[in-house]
Structure 1
Amino acid sequence: MAKIYISYQRDDQSFAMELAQRLKSAGHTLTYDVEALSAGTDWRTTLDQGLRTSEIFVVVVSQSTPRSQYLLAEVGAARAYSLESGRMLIVPIIIDDTAIPLSLQDIHGIIQPNKDLDQIVPKVEAAISSFIGRRAAQEKAATEAAEKIQSNAADYIRVAIDSLGRIESRDRRLGYVWYALGFLSLVVGIGFALWNLSIASQQTSIATESLVLVALKALVVIGLLGACAKYAFSLGKSYASEALKCSDRMHAIRFGEFYLRAFGEKTKWEELKEVFQHWNIDRTSTFSTLDPSSFDPKLAESLLELAKFLQSSKTAK
């Protein structure tokens, strides 16, 4: 049985009331009853609520229809609701030779100028049965699709989270390793510099050219170690950034999982895409922004060339 709203102009009230009684006798429910509108009732609010809760919108069309702006407004509201939700059937009943209003011309109606309810009511019943059957089939298909989405999504979520978890753990460990190598390079560089200073301080009769050559070689080694430290720190930062991205993606996927558990049976494909759209929104890898030229130890190369030049000058002498 269905919830029915009957819209009519005052001149057609007697026909509308008889139609309502026939439909009530058939087991349907009217979402409002004119006889129940007592004095002091906010009739406009009552009718609006009745329209919003209806499944079937029956509109009685006659020559007086164009004179009722409120009836035409109800038709517009019903059409908007029907289009948006797909959960309302609009049934025009034309009870005289009037032209069908423009807002209803694209809807197949029941044309019965003789107002014979014995013919009208079965046609309304047939339209209601067909609508309820179609809607039940659509709801069943939507439920099956939602169950399929929920089942497949659960497997996908589990695989995605496991995979991202392994990547996040790997990147985090590699970040620590590269940070440690960078720190070790700095320590070795400082140690090497101190060792060279210690050796130089112990030499009392070393030639100036030899001293300069030793200093230049030390600077070359320290420059190389510094470049290695810088490169290691940059790689460590990149791996740490990728680990954080994986963590954020897992958080986004878990939110999607929560949404599916809460609204799984009602979830549509469009909603599912919207929920999971942020899990991989940042596709740019931190490694793609690394510039190898920034780690090129050009100072060390220059010092090395200078050291070679001094060495060759000393050999020539």
Structure 2
Amino acid sequence: MKVEEMKYLANSNPFSSVIRSFPVYEENGLLLGVKNDFHISPSFIQNLIDTKNYQLHTIDAMAQGGRAIDLKLINPITGNYMSGSSSGTAINVFLGMNDIGIGSDGGGSVLAPAMCLNLFGFISYLIDKENMNLYSKVSTDDIRFRPSLGYIAKDFEVLKEIVKVTLPLEKDSSAHKIVISSADNDNYPFEVERIDFPDIYGDRKENIQFLEQVLPTVDFLISKEGPVDVEGFGDSVFGHFDERTKQIQRKAKKGLLRVANMVGATAISIPTDELGISYLGVCESTPSKIAVMIEKMEKLVIPQDELIERYFRNPETWFRKGYGE
């Protein structure tokens, strides 16, 4: 879309995902959407704008109270309630309204919305670290954590560029150790080692312990996860009641994406050609490991879905005239 069309789409707000929008111009850089969350520092956004490569376009709706499911917004593909809590941010990127979405992630609040819409997601403990260190939260299952910032994009090159702008990355030419689950039968375009993973859709504390043990011993791991929030209802407020609600929550297929931030890790999600299923890369938040992970995970990038592009990102879908116009 052209910038004028992106502006018009924000103003028409077809999915109620925009809180407010700002003037943007064709030659002033890529369009940013920012989650309506106090954890995101205005100075961080201003630093991006000052590079002249980005301009603030929208403040995006989020799930109430940071909930994992947004009961006010609808997933544009499935018609289900949208994954949260960076729900509006993901929708606005998916529609082509924004080039980049900036959100906050505690237990999957950036990664899950990105993955459910087959977008690229990225979070890191190192993004705006000094500001984010000021905050501490407790999850619905009583786990204390510090949130991280993250990005959502539909174009991998756009994602990679904003990561370079906001993170110190270091090249590492040494041999790399990458692990995947022994249950993963996919073929990867680089060397991997298979190890036993825990039940990634099970107890969050068990998965935290797994990452804390494994990440220091590897460059990064890959967990193929999903389909996110396609069949189940991936929310622990709902799931905590009894065995029945727990199993419905489990069907939402949110795995290590729920705990990557809780161990202070950096994570990147690369969509597959299946709805809501992504390769999730997770590494320690060190510049050299992050650089290796991005370089390797880029090899898993596939072309964007042609029908999604033609329908959702086509101005005629949203701007067609009605009867008698």
TM-score range, shorter chain: under 0.3
Which has more strand, going by share of residues?
A: 2
Larger fraction in helix:
1
TM-score, structure 2 normalization: 0.22
Q: Which has the higher contact order (CA 8 A, sep 6+)?
A: 2
